[in-house]
Amino acid sequence: MLEQKIVQIEWAGLQGQRPREAGCNSRLAIHGLYVRPGIAVITTDQGVSGFGWSRISQSEAESLIGTPIADLYGAEGEGEQKYVPDAYRAIEYPVWDLVGQLTGKPVYALVGDYQGDGYTAPCYDTSLYIDDLHLTDHQEAADLIAAEAQEGIDQGHTTFKIKIGRGAMHMPLESGMQRDVMVIKAVRQTVGTEATILLDANNGYNLNLTKTVLAETIEDQVYWMEEAFHEDGQLYRNLKDWMAKHGIETLVADGEGGASANLLIWAEDGLIDVIQYDIFGYGFSRWLKLGQKLDTWGVHTAPHHYGGYYGNFATCHLKNGIQNFGFVEWDAAVVPGIDDSSYTIQDGQVQVPNRPGFGLTLDRQVYDSAVKDDGFIAKG
């Protein structure tokens, strides 16, 4: 298997659609209806293919033609675990999928102990955006987001992430704060006491506003507070001390974008409980290694994944290699060309198929036409 080499790399952008338009977060305008995952297919000289998310350019793809699998996938140091080296990160997901095809194993079985059927990963519904700015009445706004949470319940979700920070830019501060709290309470009312609620302010709060919202929602049991403000060791220390004093056990989550170089130092110091580097930006192999380090610090792993579609599935497989894995960020969409029907959500868990690689199926007709439209084929 390892003596095979890559003889062809194809790339195309596919387009899919969310079930509902995603609105604003605290700092950006409407996110919209569409997702556009770039998908690469890599093929060996034995005619075996793997596919997955990629942003590779044609010239980079051409430079990788002829690369043996032994280079693309190997052990580092003394451990037995194999990874895709940093040099090949541009086609990391297709390589993991290809190795799955060659070994007949799902990726989860390549990265962790569990090898059987019935593999699952906890996920959260990430679709509760700031979708209510057209409404002047706070209660109507809260009811709208609660109705969206109900749609998530109907899809099998039990964990929900709510976008907050309306008063950072979209609304006057006090009014936005009031609405944030009413939205949280309305969602809690709808999802029930057993469900898990996460908040994400996209850095739209400051320390005092964060304390205000956490204090006003104590009985709503917020599990994590994500990107309350741009990460800062002093402010996080203050927040942690304040939470301890008030018996608030909400976790601090951060690291999604433009993360501080000190993020991991603060995590090791106990100031940040959940690390959220992006599943594509940071990468699967690097996440596997980092997650195992976070395990030793008692810090949770919950990669950011929004708008990429493919990360819904790929992130599930990481869980098998990381003890303190938190959640898969689930950004539901339908993408013509990719059959994901072997993945389902039940009781807040993604049921992951025991199929080779990432377990997805590519529709070659749709993909070939996307390659012709605006993609490329690199071959030796």
Dihedral over Cα of 368, 370, 376, 378: its sign? negative
What is the size of the binding site for Mg ion (CB under 5 A)?
2
Binding to Mg ion in span 130-189, by CB under 5 A: none
What are the helix (H) ranges across 246-348?
A: 263-268, 284-297, 311-318
The tokens describing 200, both together, are 């994400």
Q: Which of 92, 97, 231, 256 binds Mg ion (CB under 5 A)?
A: 256
DSSP per-residue codes, 13-69: E--EEEEEEE-B-SSS---EEEE--EEEEEEETTS-EEEEE----HHHHHHHTT-BH
Contacts of 2 (CB under 8 A, 6+ apart): 68, 69, 70, 73
Question: CB of residue 202 vs Mg ion: minimum separation in angstroms?
Answer: 6
The label of the residue with tokens 């949280």 reads 184
39-47, 106-114, 146-154, 248-256 -> range binding Mg ion (CB under 5 A) = 248-256
CB 33 within 8 A of CB 18: yes
- The span from the CA of 166 to the CA of 177, in Å, is 7
CB 97 within 8 A of CB 44: no
97 vs 256, beta carbon nearer Mg ion: 256
256 vs 340, beta carbon nearer Mg ion: 256
14-22, 78-86, 145-153, 250-258 -> range binding Mg ion (CB under 5 A) = 250-258
143 vs 278, beta carbon nearer Mg ion: 278
CB 200 within 8 A of CB 231: no
5 vs 31, beta carbon nearer Mg ion: 31
Binding to Mg ion in span 192-231, by CB under 5 A: 200
Question: CB of residue 263 vs Mg ion: minimum separation in angstroms?
Answer: 14
- Does residue 92 belong to the site contacting Mg ion (CB under 5 A)? no
180 vs 200, beta carbon nearer Mg ion: 200
Question: CB of residue 342 vs Mg ion: minimum separation in angstroms?
Answer: 28
Question: CB of residue 222 vs Mg ion: minimum separation in angstroms?
Answer: 14
27 vs 293, beta carbon nearer Mg ion: 27
**What are the residues binding Mg ion (CB under 5 A)?**
200, 256
